[in-house]
Structure 1
Amino acid sequence: MIRFNQFSLSRGVKPLFEATSFALNPGEKAGLVGANGAGKSTLFAVLRGELHADAGDVSLPPTWRIAHVAQDTPAAQKSALEYTLDGDADLREVEARIAAAERAHDGEALAHEHAAFADADGYTAPARAEALLLGLGFTLAQTRESVASFSGGWRMRLNLAQALMCRSDLLLLDEPTNHLDLDAIVWLEDWLHRYPGTLIVISHDREFLDSVCNVTLHLENRRVTRYGGNYSQFEILRAQQLALQQSAYEKQQKTVAHLQSFIDRFKAKATKARQAQSRMKALEKMELIAPAHVASPFTFEFREPDAAPNPMLVMEDVRCGYRGDGGDGGDIDIPILEGVTLSIQNGQRIGLLGANGQGKSTLVKTLAGTLEPLAGSMHQGRGLVIGYFAQHQLETLRPDDSPLAHLARIAPDAREQVLRDFLGGFNFSGDMASAPIAPFSGGEKARLALALIIWQKPNLLLLDEPTNHLDLETRHALTMALAQFEGTLILVSHDRHLLRASTDQFMLVAHHRVEPFDGDLDDYRDWLLEHAAQARSAARAAHAEAGDAVDGLTAGAANRKDQRRQEAQVRQKLAQLKKPLQTRIARIEKEMETLNTQKAALDAFVADAASYEPAMKARLTETLRQQADVQSRLETLEAQWLEAQEELEQIG
């Protein structure tokens, strides 16, 4: 059992926990939730033994093995499979003893260690490690590639695989879904359902928490409160507590009234009936969970569009992809999607499904006009105003400008007070509205990017992973705002709660095609698990057949030579397209490594109690400023890396 008894802990002069007590039983799976900065990661450091209580005590069984996801991955030359196997420390120790016995020619010790190897399931370990990697999105060929050949996001997946490989009693996962697509998230959920140990997970993905957890630990006001049940059940229990304070959620009645008005006006109108039904569902959810979010930092809503063309946009036999210099004076086309024919109607709310690299972002970029079609035609409705949000847009924000300056640039004729009132709805009020955005967090910059889009009153909203960097409270505000949006929505997200609450139809992007998906997200989950199992079986069969074929081939050497030459030419052209992106990714990763080193030194200084002596005031102030600057730069670089990596995957 894990037990915290009257536990208190401060970092510097900031108290994070004060006399809090809670317990977890063996085998329970707990979601750790709370506002950013409340101390969730600090609690993990306490469980790992890296930090110790200022008062009270923490106890857990001394024999327990603890697994967690490492934040750094060495650029090792060992294969991804061998790196994953390193997670089973007991197995590696047995292997080392076997090697020592072989060197010493000690037959008795060798027999003993081979028995220990069998007891450690050593003969099945490579297959288990391979299954972990395939489930997390690696191909069979990639499991044999060196760790150094993978980029940052894929190395984080390797770290996750290594943690899952560890035969642990306690598994600590901090935002495990951040670098995963929906396919890998579904697989991870299935794996965690079967995990026999105790699990504590930090996540902003409420559907992931609902699926995996049976206990919720809520960190608020320097205390941890235990709730039985998953995240949705926690919301209900907390809502029931807060509902006793009627005045606390009166601010949400205005939103409820707005939704109800739409339902009353359009419920009987055939062309709007489906949207009315969607808002009825949103209203039911809002009335149930609203009190749990009375402390939300802000709420916002979309402005009503000026026009509603129908159809909004038509694509006819469009080929979506990238065009680059082939290196021989001509261009080379890299098609991602073929034969896309769509007619986007006013009021549609479409969710795009599909694995990373299949072309969801490519389709959205083509719809937004930031990527020209390679073939086919596109026609926009008269009066179409597109609002496009993607992570790379955070790069276009000017770090030395304030939110007010950003908004004034696109609304030069609006009065300053009108702009300030609008920004206040996104929690940019007072001095924050006129302060440079350089030290803002990734979530705050994402909110500002959304605000700039919303000001322009779009009637077609294209959102590509809008919840990255957003905490649960901000995701809730976005979900409620999208439920009231009067225009057309196309959404890419691995946040299934947002997809369920904001869309009413799905399209599947897979195998270079875009097709309607007949089903809901539960059907898609079943489809993913079924096809993932089939794909893994097919990959193994193809791998085995290829090996047999190589052994038995004796004819057709000339044809194979010609085929290899053609394949080499294609690889060369692809390499030329990839090289600028790979160079950019390497530069970003090198800069992130430097900044992480700086951040570690700054964090250590801030955590030192001596830094808060009066004589250190000036240095502490400067260190805090540098700390905010470094954190902001790291978040910006992460967004740039994600964008470059996605382009690289699509080309490859």
Structure 2
Amino acid sequence: MTLISLTGLGVTLGAPLFQDLTFSLAKGDRLGLVAANGRGKSTLLRCLADRLEPSAGRIVRARGLRTALVRQDNPDALLPLTLRAVALDGLPADTRDWEAWRADVTLDELAVPDDLRDRPLAELSGGWRRMAQLARARVAEPDLLLLDEPTNHLDLERIAGLEAWIAGLPGDMALIVASHDRAFLDAVTTRTLFLRERGSQLYALPFSPARQALAKADAATARRHAADLQEAAKLRRQAAKLNNIGINSGSDLLQVKTRQLKARAERIEEAAQPAHRELSAGTVRLSDGGAHVRALLVLDGAEVGTPDGRPLFRTGRLAIAPGDRVVVLGANGAGKSRLLAAVASAVEGMPAPGFWAAGSIVPGICDQELTRLDRDRTPFELVAGRFEIGDQRARSLLAGAGVGLDLQVRPVAALSGGQRARLAMLVLRLQRPNFYMLDEPTNHLDIEGQEALEAELCAREAACLLVSHDRRFVENVGNRFWRIEGKRLIELDGPPG
């Protein structure tokens, strides 16, 4: 049974995001939605959830279709509510009194600890806030569940739990997942839609095999395009030769033939379809400032705690040298971000006991909320006003990072999450650090951006201390692994199994 179908759907928000999108979704479908940052994934989900009117085309929904959308962000109105109250918010107001048990059952399914359920969302980590939104959506028993970047802020254990939870959903519940997490898409989807401005492609395959099929299709399109242009060029050469002969001989027939050849060449050129080139939100390039000391950072029995002073864990003696790419692992709330914050304080000249940082460190810091970007300033001010590179160079770099001229003079707050992440990476690059501290750097980066960041980090001899729950990213980047375990920070012998 078809739950929802799209015909010729298009959305233009200042510029076209996508157009002529046609596909349908049946009961039990598990669809992955893939596109570069800013290319319309969240917008499409909002259209499907009936929260945004498309610019063109139509959406036909099955009668009585119940749809639930889990957004990337946490609505401000939910933050004062307790986690349990957020889950209850998914029930109709007139049934909450006698159906409140549904919220607790759903929280049990998501393995939310009892001691967190009555705490306000504002006090919880991003991972538990995500669980609250999932519970709020699930308790409504939707026919179609729309998930926008559901793995953001989740640790590896919680991502595995989320995969198991999705596998346990009713078999007739349809699911659309917009995500840049390649391993997660492979685990939970069976179809993949590559959303493009023109010519979106749908495959009845999970992400990895679908991407291989897409690459073959794009390569075939590129070959056809090249052949078509060669044929058009050949016709134009023939037309030019006949035109010269016709002028010299005064033959009207050759003049007619010349016009026919030119017309054929024009038709071929107009019909020729260039291969799709994924214009990701910009190229991620970092820079290695160089370091010449044996150890950049030493932890020696350092204690890491919460902002209110509650101890979380203690380190042994650990050190980071140039070329070390250390991944910090641990459950949500274990203190990974607090460790990075303590290290950031140490390298910026305010070390706590047990932290030592070399004076030669040039830090490159990016937290998961991108708080080091002043949201009230414009991207142009952040780049041109901070680095001596000239106005034109600043505009060019910003454009290369996916921040167009119109957005360069608007506040950072107006940028999408992906655009802010790209801007943060550009600022890091211009700082020329030799020690990166990255907290969930892939949260808002599209797949092309993630792969570019992986390549840049691995090509450098700069050190890196990072927190990430993106399994592919961890596997591809990390060469050392620390884990918070039993109130201790320990080093693993190799990557986690």
TM-score range, shorter chain: 0.7 to 0.9
For residues 413-447 of structure 1, give each alpha carbon's deviation from its aligned partner in whole angstroms, at most 9, with x where no partner exists. Answer: x6666666655653567787677656444433333
**Would you say 1:488 and 2:463 are equivalent positions?**
yes
Q: Say which SS state the counterpart of residue 363 (structure 1) adopts.
A: helix
Q: Deviations over 1:476-529 (max 9, x none)?
A: 3323322322322221122222222211232112333111234535x2xxxxxx
> How has the CA–CA distance of structure 1 residues 83 and 300 changed in structure 2, closer, same or farther, with 3 Å as cutoff?
closer
Structure 1 residue 319 displacement after superposition: 2.3
1:187 aligns with 2:161: yes
Structure 1: distance between partners of 2:10 and 2:166: 30
Q: Which amino acid aligns with 1:20?
A: L
SS at match of 1:448: helix
Report the AA paired with residue 140 of structure 1. Answer: D
8 A contact 2:299–2:316 mirrored in 1: yes
Partners of 2:12 and 2:161 in 1: how far apart?
37
Aligned counterpart, 1:66: 67
5 Å matches for 1:290-439? Answer: 294-321=278-305, 333-368=309-344, 369=346, 370=348, 372-376=350-354, 378-380=356-358, 383-391=360-368, 394-397=371-374, 399-400=376-377, 402-403=379-380, 405-407=381-383, 410-412=386-388, 425-427=400-402, 437=412, 439=414
Paired residue for 2:424, among 449, 457, 470?
A: 449
Change (3 A) 1:300 1:375: closer
Counterpart code for 1:175: E
| Residues 265-287 of structure 1, C-alpha deviations (whole Å, 9 max, x = no match) | xxxxxxxxxxxxxxxxxxxxxxx
Instruction: Output the amino acid matched with 1:342.
Output: L
Q: Which runs of 5+ in 2 are unaligned?
A: 226-274
1:6 counterpart SS class: strand
| Distance in 2 (alpha carbons) for counterparts of 1:402 and 1:77 | 31
Q: 1:292 to 1:187 in 2, by over 3 A?
A: farther
Alignment partner for residue 171 of structure 1, among 135, 141, 145?
145
Q: 1:292 to 1:376 in 2, by over 3 A?
A: farther
Report if the CA contact (8 A) 1:507-1:517 is conserved.
Answer: yes
Partner of 1:507: 482
Q: CA deviation at 1:52?
A: 6.6
Question: How many residues were matched structurally?
Answer: 439
Give the Å deviation of 1:177: 2.7
In structure 2, the residue matched to 1:210 is: 186
Cα distance in 1 for partners of 2:332, 2:442 equals 16
1:467–1:504 Cα change, 3 Å: same
Give the CA RMSD over aligned residues: 4.1
Between 431-440 and 492-501, report the one with greater CA deviation: 431-440
What SS is found at the alignment partner of 2:441?
coil
**CA gap 1:164/1:301 in 2 versus in 1, 3 angstroms:** same
Amino acid at match of 1:376: G
Q: Determine if contact 1:3/1:60 at 8 Å carries over to the other structure.
A: yes
Partner of 1:262: none
Q: What is the alpha-carbon distance in structure 2 between the residues aligned to residue 162 and residue 428 of structure 1?
A: 34
The one-letter code matched in structure 1 to 2:28 is G
CA gap of 1:483–1:21, structure 2 versus 1, over 3 A, is same
User: Is 1:84 paired with 2:80?
Assistant: no
Shift of 1:318: 2.0
User: Alignment partner of 2:27: what SS?
Assistant: coil
**Which amino acid in 2 is paired with 1:475?**
Q
Which residue number corresponds to residue 281 of structure 1? none
What is residue 22 of structure 2 aligned with on the other side?
Answer: 21
> Counterpart of 1:295 in structure 2: which amino acid?
L
The DSSP-based 3-state class of the residue aligned with 1:474 is helix
CA deviation string 1:602-636 (max 9, x = no partner): xxxxxxxxxxxxxxxxxxxxxxxxxxxxxxxxxxx
Runs of 5+ in structure 1 lacking a partner?
A: 97-121, 249-290, 325-332, 524-652
Quote how far apart the aligned CAs of 1:373 are: 4.8
Q: Residue in 2 aligned with 1:227?
A: 203
Query: Mapping of 1:554-565 within 5 angstroms?
Result: none
Give 1:364's aligned amino acid: L
Identity between Structure 1 and Structure 2 (%): 32
Q: Deviations over 1:356-376 (max 9, x none)?
A: 321212222232325845433
CA–CA separation in structure 2 for the residues paired with 1:77 and 1:386: 35
Question: Against the structure 1 CA distance between its residues 199 and 499, is the aligned structure 2 distance closer, same or farther, given a 3 Å change threshold?
Answer: same
2: CA distance between counterparts of 1:8 and 1:149? 37
Counterpart residue number, 2:35:
34
Instruction: Report the counterpart of residue 139 of structure 1 in structure 2.
Output: 113
CA distance in 2 between partners of 1:408 and 1:305 (Å): 20
User: Which has more helix, going by share of residues?
Assistant: 1
8 Å contact from structure 2 (residues 326, 482) kept in 1: yes
Looking at structure 2, the residues matched to 362 and 236 of structure 1 have their Cα atoms a distance apart, in angstroms, of 39
Counterpart CA distance in 2 for 1:416 and 1:401 is: 13
Task: Give yes or no for contact 2:32–2:206 (8 Å, CA) kept in 1.
Answer: yes
**Which residue identity does 2:151 align to in structure 1?**
T
Q: Which aligned pairs between 1:571-582 and structure 2 lie closer than 5 A? A: none
Mapped to 1, the partners of 2:81 and 2:399 lie a distance apart of: 52
Residue 292 and residue 383 in structure 1: after superposition, are their counterparts in 2 closer, same or farther (change >3 A)? farther
C-alpha separation in 1, matches of 2:176 and 2:341? 37
C-alpha deviation, 1:322, in angstroms: 6.3
Give the distance between the partners of 2:194 and 2:409, measured in 1 at CA.
34
Say if 1:359 and 1:510, in contact at 8 Å, map to a contact too: no
Q: Bigger CA drift: 471-480 or 350-359? A: 471-480
Letter aligned with residue 390 of structure 1: D
Q: Contact conserved, 2:286 with 2:428, CA < 8 A, in 1?
A: no
The 1:361–1:86 alpha-carbon spacing in structure 2 relative to 1, beyond 3 Å, is closer
SS of the residue corresponding to residue 220 of structure 1 reads: coil
- Whether 2:452 is the aligned partner of 1:474: answer no
Q: TM-score, normalised by structure 1?
A: 0.57
Query: What CA deviation, in whole Å up to 9, does each residue of 1:128-151 have, x standing for no partner?
Result: 334135x2xx421333x2768866
How big is the shift at 1:28?
1.9
Going from structure 1 to structure 2, the CA distance change for 1:429 and 1:306 (only over 3 Å counts) comes to farther
Cα pair 2:3 2:65 within 8 Å, conserved: no
Partner of 2:472 in structure 1? Answer: 497
